Structure 1
Amino acid sequence: MKHDHISFKEYTMDNLSLPSNIADLIPRDHMAHVVHEMVERIPMETFLPYYKGGGTSAYHPKMMTKILLYAYTQKMYHGREIARQLEVHLPLMWLSGFQKPDFRSINRFRSERMKGLIDDLFREMITLLVADGYVKMEDYFVDGTKIEANANRYTFVWRKSAEKHQEKLQANVDRLIAQIEAIVENEKAEECEASPSWTSEEIRQKTKEWEERLETEPDNQALRKAVKTMKDDYLPRSEKYEHQLHVCQDRNSYSKTDVDATFMRLKEDHMRNGQLKPAYNVQAGSSDQFILGYSLHQRPGDTRCLLPHLETIREKYGVEPECLIADAAYGSEENYVKLEEKHISALIKYNTYEKENTRKVKRNPHHQQNWTYLEEEDVWICANGKKLVRTGTSKQTTESGYTSVTRHYQCHECEGCPFRSACTTSKYGRTTQWNPVYHEQKQKARERLESEEGQARYRQRKTDIESVFGQIKQNRGFRRFVLRGLQKVSIEWGLICAAHNLLKKAARDKQSSLVA
């Protein structure tokens, strides 16, 4: 068989001639160049406050920041993986200046140096993106998502369980102390007053008293047994329950392997059994799919996270939005009122917005929204022309101190009404409740949402902030934190957000070059 016309390009692995600049080997639109240029524009003064000086020379903060940001854009989230890639991945090697920090140095920089640095870094990047025209601060699309913690899913503490066990322990302590005091004082046990609550410190003091008494009464077997029970059983358990409730605070649970993580219901439910998992509630705001601010929370509900989130982004990143767009999870009375006080236009649906717009509710003559309210008499007029008079007022105060006032009304003329069976099932007559402040805020929200401009902005929410979470969780596979603890997890999410913005900038630059 002849091979006269076969030819190959010359190939040799010896005497390679490399370009004078290694950067020439990396395409100009490569992510490494985007990361390098952005970090180089950040003033060195941003990094210096987080170094004390003295001792062994540290790796340059800009170099460490570059390799971390680039690694996060390439779905490398673990320190060991980043260290391995520094041996073989050319763009990463170029960004590091061919230095090779080990995984301990990478993890130490991320966990310790980045504690305050990540906030300053993110703020500087947002400032540069705004200056370059990538981001506008007008609209702020906010939403939350739950990211699973790096914690065991099956080792947890429930606050109610700890409270129940603590209550049982208190009863046991009460009985034992009453019994011993009765023996010592030669009184009847039932005459001894029980303490409403014994703290671990009080149990320790009582045990000490008994030990001192035992020195003078060495043959008192009942007292000796009581001291042993208190020291070996009741005191450790009391300290344990107090510690658990202290860690829980106002949360319903926490994970034993990451005590800052709370058990929440996640959308990623592969077992389809509604299993709660240790997680953090991440709140983020975006504009044109660039993340402008973020905050992490330990409570599962989004409603009470909005105002703390806005306070965080104002203090840390200097973001004060003019218009805030969010879904119905944020539509509470307190949020509406506080946003109005801050002069922020809120395009937020309330939880009954969709229901009130249905044909069924609009045509239902027995729904409160179709009744007439007489302000002078403070009564509601039902479909049959009967009055619902005010019977009382209830107040509810949130943990932030906001008080909501609800009025209650009842009809005393339901007897013999032809609409009674369709209107109410109560044997006492139809009742309803009304919150004037919330009602007014809902009316304003409806007007904003139903305006042409409001509809266009609200439609944009799904393609803005929701797509951001989709890109992070689906495209880049970040569904579980690598680090543990609220502070370290906040650093990690900050790197994710910064990496997302750099990827978005690179995509926007590429799109602009194609159009040009």
Structure 2
Amino acid sequence: IQGYNGIAINDDKHQIILQAQTWGSVGEQQTLKPAIEQLQVQLTKLGTPDTFSTTKFTADSGFHSEINLEFMATTGLDAYMADTAFRSRNPLFQQSETYLSEQEKRRLKRSKGRSRLFNSKDFHFNEKQGSCHCPAGKALWLSVKNIETTGRQYVRFSGFLKDCRVCPLQTQCMRKPPTKQGRQVQFEINKSTKRISYTDKMRVKIDSSAGRRQYSKRLGAIEPVFGNITVNKGMNKFTLRGQDKVNTQWKMY
């Protein structure tokens, strides 16, 4: 059932909510820009329109996208926004048995206990020759020459259906036996000449020691606010219908 998502922005010193709004979508990416614009209006009403130039802003990976990062670069905010691979790049988590075991538990839950499938790292890609071979040693054919996303270029290879159907490694490579097409896999190309995207810039920024230190403050800034709303005040779900009613209920809490 499609529901509403409550978004809030607060300061870390006093944990006062400065902006709150409900959105009729489960995803958070599309809510960032209007939320920031509403925050700017709110700060102007408070007589502090220049706050953005001295403020550090943190948001979790649910808000991360190339479009959002490009927008944030125009606001004047010193933003720190994690991507979904942020923790996996952290040396502390890479050496943590607890983190790795929890990740494996989540993977097994998502895959319903199935073993891990081959990923692009298991395939042998030669960018100069424009060729690709699967873990079974079979050649794949180039199905798409140019895929561009977030400033990066990719090529996609597909396995021949006749090879994939009889492959002894099929259960390690595909979730279901192939019927219309073989296994597909894509690789990034032209890494040396690619345009540096806002995602790349944020990755460098947030992976630095200063960036990790700043982003770590997010947990203590916003989570206690949501904890107070959901646990102490008992607001763990919306009980009304309609955008206006739900939005009013959210702001009352």
**Shared fold (TM-score greater than 0.5)?**
yes
TM-fit CA distance, 1:297: 1.4
Q: Indicate the residue corresponding to 1:282 in structure 2.
A: 6
| Matching residue of 1:348 | 82
Cα deviations by residue, 1:246-286 (Å, 9 ceiling, x for unpaired):
xxxxxxx8xxxxxxxxx52xxxxxxxxxxxxxxx4221122
Measured in 1, the distance between the counterparts of 2:169 and 2:29 equals 37
Aligned counterparts, 1:235-254, within 5 A: none
Matched, 1:409 2:157: yes
Higher helix share: 1
- Match of residue 19, structure 2, among 270, 289, 293: 293
How far has the Cα of 1:465 moved from its partner? 0.7
Aligned residues: 211
- 3-state secondary structure, aligned to 2:216: helix
Deviation at 1:295, TM superposition (A): 2.5
Please report how far the alpha carbon of residue 299 of structure 1 lies from its aligned counterpart in structure 2 after TM superposition: 1.9
* 1:367 corresponds to which of 119, 123, 142: 119
Deviation at 1:463, TM superposition (A): 1.9
Aligned match of 2:60: 327
Aligned to 1:165: none
Residue among 387, 391, 400 paired with 2:143: 391
**Residue in structure 2 matched with residue 306 of structure 1 by the alignment:** 32
Letter in 1 for 2:222: I
Distance 1:406 1:419 in 2: 25
Mapped partners of 1:335, 1:390: distance in 2: 32
Rate the CA distance shift 1:332–1:420 in 2: closer, same or farther, 3 A.
same
Amino acid at match of 1:366: F
Structure 1 unaligned spans of 5+: 1-252, 254-262, 265-279, 396-401, 497-516
Give matches, 1:100-499, under 5 Å: 263-264=2-3, 280-288=4-12, 289-317=15-43, 318=49, 320=52, 323-340=56-73, 345-350=79-84, 366-369=118-121, 382-383=134-135, 388-392=140-144, 408-412=156-160, 415=163, 421-424=171-174, 425-426=177-178, 428-433=181-186, 445-478=202-235, 486-487=243-244, 490=247, 493-494=250-251, 496=253
Q: Which shows bigger deviation, 448-457 or 408-417?
A: 408-417
Letter in 1 for 2:39: I
Identity of aligned residues (%): 23
Q: Using a 3 Å threshold, how does the CA distance of structure 1 residues 336 and 291 change in structure 2: closer, same or farther?
A: same
Alpha-carbon distance in 2 for matches of 1:340, 1:435? 25
Q: Where does structure 2 lack aligned partners over 5 or more consecutive residues?
A: 44-48, 95-99, 108-115
Aligned equivalents of 2:72 and 2:215: distance in 1?
17
Using the alignment, how far apart are the partners of 1:293 and 1:301 within structure 2? 18
Q: Is the 2:80–2:206 Cα contact (8 Å) retained in structure 1?
A: no
In the alignment, is the contact (CA less than 8 A) between 1:324 and 1:345 conserved in 2?
A: yes
Letter in 2 for 1:304: Q
Work out the CA distance in 2 between the residues paired with 1:374 and 1:340. 36
TM-score normalised according to structure 1 size: 0.31
Two-structure CA RMSD over aligned residues (Å): 5.0
Q: CA deviation at 1:305?
A: 1.7
Q: TM-score, normalised by structure 2?
A: 0.56
Q: Write out per-residue CA displacement over residues 371-406 of structure 1, whole angstroms, 9 at most, x where no aligned residue.
A: 5665556665655676654413899xxxxxx9x998
